[in-house]
Amino acid sequence: MSERKTLETGAPIDTIIFLGTAGARFMVSKQLAASGGMWLNLSGTQLLIDPGPGCIVQATKRKLNAEKLSAIIISHRHLDHSADANVMVEAMTGGGFRRRGQLFLPADALAPEPVVFSYLKNFVEGITVLEAEKTYRTGNISFKTSVRHVHPVETYGMVFTAADYTAGYITDTRYFEELAASYAGSDLIIVNMVLTEPRPPVDHLSKQDVERLIKEIKPKIAILNHFGMHVWQARPWLVAEEIAQKTGVRVIAARDGMKFDLSQLKELPELK
Ligand SMILES: [Zn+2]
């Protein structure tokens, strides 16, 4: 697949493609929305984040070529973030015949029960165990992991730094005081909002939590993603509108297959 370039500068267009917007068990097992994760193209580097169930179907349907990926990044081992890791590793490495690409994931996604089969581990160029608040490089970009999220398994969000933008991915977590600081300075945040109302034993973000995070981080744009059943029933775009009104920040609800062009961030003023 050839890179799309801007006419003026010849620079690659920075995009995020949403290969699914379903979050948590019911949405995923019923496939009310797809659950394939996100495909990023930043400064010419292609990354696959959280390849959930159906990632291979969603990616190939959109003619995304896994052999162009620099890396597959898994925020945590839950099924809706890692189920297609094996098939995507195989796709990234040309069926295992071309040793290439990197795999990033937390330690507990590798042992004692790895989300990637042992025989596939040799197909990739390198496996890197993610730790809290560390910076990693792949292709032309770097990303920094967040503090460890409060979630039943080891979980990290990340902030990607490309030539012109920073984009934070706030993956599954409960809200906690130190969360926003990890994403400070992000031009864009993508936030997994599973719940409408807080449900205390459930370690996921609710609408109120997301409002609070947006007020704290002050991104130029926030994209809501990873919807649970209640958010889905409340219509994600209406929830986005409500949060936008309360925060004064542009808030978008992701849709399956949505391609977000990061260059629009340039035109928006800083809110800080
Ligand atoms: Zn999870």
Residue 238 structure tokens: 């209406």
Distance 13 CA to ligand 1 centre (A): 30
Distance 72 CA to ligand 1 centre (A): 17
- Give the SS3 label for residue 40: strand
The residue assigned the tokens 């009310």 is 32
* E strand spans, the chain: 15-20, 35-42, 45-49, 69-73, 102-106, 126-130, 135-138, 141-148, 156-161, 166-170, 188-192, 221-225, 250-253, 259-261
Gap from CA of 152 to ligand 1 centroid (Å): 7
Q: Measured in angstroms, how far is the CA atom of residue 236 from the centroid of ligand 1? A: 19
- Taking the centre of ligand 1 as the mean of its atom positions, its distance from the CA of residue 76, in whole angstroms, is 7
Q: What pLDDT sits at residue 156?
A: 98
Which residue numbers in the chain have pLDDT < 50? 1-2, 7, 272
257, with CB counted inside 10 A (0-12, 13-18, 19+), is middle
Tokens 């500068």, located at residue = 9
Instruction: Specify the pLDDT at position 10.
Output: 52
Distance between Cα 195 and ligand 1 center (Å): 13
* pTM, full prediction: 0.94
Taking only the tens place, the pLDDT of each residue in 215-243 is 999 999 999 999 999 999 999 999 999 99
CA of 6 from ligand 1 middle (Å) equals: 36
